[in-house]
Amino acid sequence: MTTPAPAPLRLGTRGSALATTQSGLVARRLEVLLDRPVELVRIKTEGDVKTGSLASLGGTGVFVTALRDALAGDRCDVAVHSLKDLPTTPAPGLTYVTPEREDPRDALCARDGRTLDTLPRNGRVGTGSPRRAAQLQAARPDLEIVDIRGNVETRLARALGPDPDLDAVVLALAGLARLHRTEVVSEVLDPLVVAPAPGQGALAVEARSTDLVPDGGTTGGPGLGAVLAEAFAELDHRPTRLAVTAERAVLARLEAGCAAPIGAYARLEDGVLVLSAVVASLDGTEQLKHTARVEIAPTATLTAADGAAYALGVRVAERLLADGAARLAPLSPAEPAPPEPTLATTGTDDPEGA
């Protein structure tokens, strides 16, 4: 008797070219790990439907809530998010993992191969991110920063198209790499000049928590829970997980939303997790920076390593607060929460898959 082919795993994604490309990468990996087909389910989010600045949309969760509702409503089995889009508060009943991330730095895409230093005086640079805008103004106070929205190609056309109205745009290098469009990059911006958004370049692959225990869920029938849990364990990349846990702990401690110009960049180097963070005023005239590190033993348990990374982020955030961060940026700092085994983040920085 022939065993029927398993039903496809339904993977929820936003519908933009960047989102479906990112989700397609995850889908192909899951097909190998699960030995079953994976189909993309396109979900429209609030941020896809509405126009205007991110702050006017409320920022937090506008590109995430519909996907999470689809998971909760059993319209998809797994969802893929850009990690920097996830709100700080963990979603009850959901668990995510972080595959290895792309280069988290920002990229300048300028006409004639110009760099940040060689852009024309009073040049016009487009970005939808207050973080990028503030740090660009700090580096080049003469620049006119233009608020823009839209997908990657729409943004690129503003500077590199046949009828440009901008001298350059700034995009996440990770998105350009995933779309095979790095040829448009005129300069990869040094994180010391423009620190990336916490979690930039990383993805979150999310599922119902009950589907990640043996026979605990309903997705695909009995026994899939153990297989899906193993697949999620394979997807989770320890150096990425520790880096983004530290970066996002900065946001969690500062209670910073999408309107706050905050950058953070962590990397695991020879067993030492190094975290640098910056808080800037909205106009870029003032910046506070701090760097700290913690040793992560190779034998540390997942819980211990996560806790150390989270504590590092809190420590850096508290140093920034002590130096006056709340005076510079729109923050609502609260008492630090205890570390979560799986951290979420605050709001979106500037999703280029919009």
What pLDDT was estimated at residue 333? 64
How many whole angstroms separate alpha carbon 145 and alpha carbon 84? Answer: 22
Q: What is the pLDDT of residues 16-27, one digit of tens each?
A: 999 999 999 999
pLDDT > 50? residue 148? yes
- The pLDDT of residue 216: 52
- Rounded CA-CA distance 12/71 in Å is 8
Report whether pLDDT(54) > 70: no
What is the predicted pLDDT for the residue at 237?
97
pLDDT number for residue 171: 97
Annotated active-site positions, please? Answer: 85
Mean pLDDT, residues 106-132 taken together = 97
pTM of full prediction above 0.75: yes
Among 23, 28, 22, residue whose Cα is nearest residue 12: 23
pLDDT, tens digit, for every residue of 220-257?
444 567 899 999 999 999 999 999 999 999 999 987 66
Three-state SS string across the chain, please? CCCCCCCCEEEEECCCHHHHHHHHHHHHHHHHHHCCCEEEEECCCHHHHCCCCHHHHCCCCCCCHHHHHHHHCCCCCEEEEEHHHCCCCCCCCEEEECCCCCCCCEEEEEHHHCCCCCCCCCCEEEECCHHHHHHHHHHCCCCEEEECCCCHHHHHHHHHCCCCCCCEEEEEHHHHHHCCCHHHCCEECCCCCCCCCCCCCCEEEEEEHHHHCCCCCCCCCCCHHHHHHHHHHHHCCHHHHHHHHHHHHHHHHHCECCCCCEEEEEEEECCEEEEEEEEECCCCCCEEEEEEEEECCCCCCHHHHHHHHHHHHHHHHHHHHHCCHHHHCCECCCCCCCCCCCCCCCCCCCCCCC
Which range, of 32-41, 107-116, 342-351, averages the lowest pLDDT? Answer: 342-351
On the question of pLDDT at 339 being above 60, the answer is: no
Predicted pLDDT of residue 67? 95
Which pLDDT belongs to residue 4?
Answer: 67
Residue 181 CB-density burial (10 A; 0-12 exposed, 13-18 middle, 19+ buried): middle
User: 166-175, 205-214, 311-320: which range is least confident on average?
Assistant: 205-214
Q: Which of 206, 214, 210 has the alpha carbon at shortest distance from 235?
A: 206
> What is the average per-residue pLDDT within 201-214?
93
The stretch 275-295 carries a mean pLDDT of: 96
Average pLDDT, the chain: 88
Cα–Cα distances (Å) from 325 to 266, 292, 333, in that order, read: 19, 17, 10
Long-range contacts of 227-236 (CB under 8 A, 24+ apart): 227/34, 228/34, 230/33, 231/30, 231/33, 231/34, 232/95, 232/97, 232/205, 232/207, 233/97, 234/33, 235/26, 235/29, 235/30, 235/33, 235/97, 235/98, 235/99, 235/205, 236/97, 236/98, 236/99
Instruction: Give the number of other CB atoms < 10 A from CB of residue 321.
Output: 17
